[in-house]
Amino acid sequence: MPKLKRPDRAERATDFVESLDRGLRLLAKFGVTSGPMTLSDLARATELPRATARRILFTLERGGFVATDGKLFTLTPHVLTLAASYLRSSQVVSVLQPVLDRIAAAAQEISSLAVLDGDEVVFIARGSPARVFSTGLDIGYRLPAFCTSVGRAMLGQLDNTELAAKLAAMRRETMTSSTVTDPKLLLATIMADREKGYSLVDREAEPGFRSISVPVRRYDGTIVAAINMGAHVDRVSTAEMIDRFLPLLQGGAEGVRSLLL
């Protein structure tokens, strides 16, 4: 009698490497502060026994990812090789980078590319106009999805039931005095944005800053990212964003649809 194949979930459970998971969780916890951390800090943040955290840290040190003076631990630049591997292997980044550069040059404003990561958005590429002192969201920067134009543009991929459940479950902190946190109002806003084909957020994520975004779809219509342009409220009005920025974003997103698999 042939052997029955185990369910996928069972296979995933048996293939799970707990030590690797712990090491990755510990690496991620370095971001909760802006300086070095002690063994006790890291063990507490990861909810791991001190002995376990210590073994992981010294393994990471041997691999060149962590440095220590015997008491305090810090990440090394070698950690950036992990992010670089993602950026080099991401088709979305390679296809969209020329688009971002072209849009930024045309509008003389910074353009950005973001993807969803849980309840947050993370910015993975940007295009800047040819001027020395340009400011904008750095690669790797994270923001809550619910109050950002890129986040709302991507959340529109969910059907109304899924979207309502996700909004109700996610953490919705007030970022500015203009942040909308009510899940019913957010649901209505994202549904309206879905119909319009773009999202415009005005001073909800950061004070004095507004942005406009459109979803980026792959060949089959699935939303895989969002591109945006933003500016300080004193420089660019919402009307100008719609009139001048939106056509550039829409043209860029539509132009790469057939290239994304």
Q: Residue 27: its pLDDT value, please?
A: 92
Residue 160's closest CA among 188, 124, 122? 188
Q: Residue 4: its pLDDT value, please?
A: 41
Domain 8-81 shares a fold with domain 90-259: no
What confidence tier does 16 reach under pLDDT thresholds 50, 70, 90? confident
- Better-scored residue on pLDDT, 131 or 86: 86
31-77 pLDDT, tens per residue?
Answer: 777 789 999 999 999 999 999 999 999 999 999 999 999 899 999 99
- Check pLDDT > 60 for residue 216: yes
Cα–Cα distance measured from residue 154 to residue 197, given in angstroms and rounded to the nearest whole number: 11
What are 183's two structure tokens?
A: 């899940």
Kindly provide the residue ranges of all beta strands, DSSP E only, lying in the chain, ordered along the sequence: 37-38, 66-68, 72-75, 111-117, 120-127, 142-144, 199-202, 209-217, 223-232
The percent of residues in the chain predicted with pLDDT above 90, rounded, is 80
Q: Residue 209: its pLDDT value, please?
A: 96
Q: What is the pTM of this model?
A: 0.82
* 259 exposure class (CB count in 10 Å sphere: 0-12, 13-18, 19+): middle
Are the CB atoms for 206 and 145 separated by under 8 Å? Answer: no
134-171 pLDDT, tens per residue?
Answer: 555 688 899 999 999 999 999 999 999 999 999 999 99
User: In degrees rounded to 5, what are phi and psi of residue 206?
Assistant: -140, 140
What are 3's two structure tokens?
A: 């052997």
Q: What is the CATH number of domain 8-81?
A: 1.10.10.10
Cα–Cα distance measured from residue 231 to residue 227, given in angstroms and rounded to the nearest whole number: 14
What confidence tier does 9 reach under pLDDT thresholds 50, 70, 90? low
- Check pLDDT > 60 for residue 187: yes
- Spell out the residues 6+ positions from residue 67 whose beta carbon is closer than 8 angstroms to its own: 61, 73, 74, 75, 76
In this prediction, residues 228-245 reach a mean pLDDT of 96
Are the CB atoms for 76 and 42 separated by under 8 Å? Answer: no
Domain 90-259 homologous superfamily, CATH: GAF domain (3.30.450.40)
* Mean pLDDT across the chain: 91
Give the torsion through C-alpha atoms of 244, 245, 246, 248, to 10 deg.
100
What confidence tier does 172 reach under pLDDT thresholds 50, 70, 90? very high
Residue 141's closest CA among 108, 166, 117, 175? 117
Domain map (residue ranges) of the chain: 8-81, 90-259
- Check pLDDT > 90 for residue 237: yes
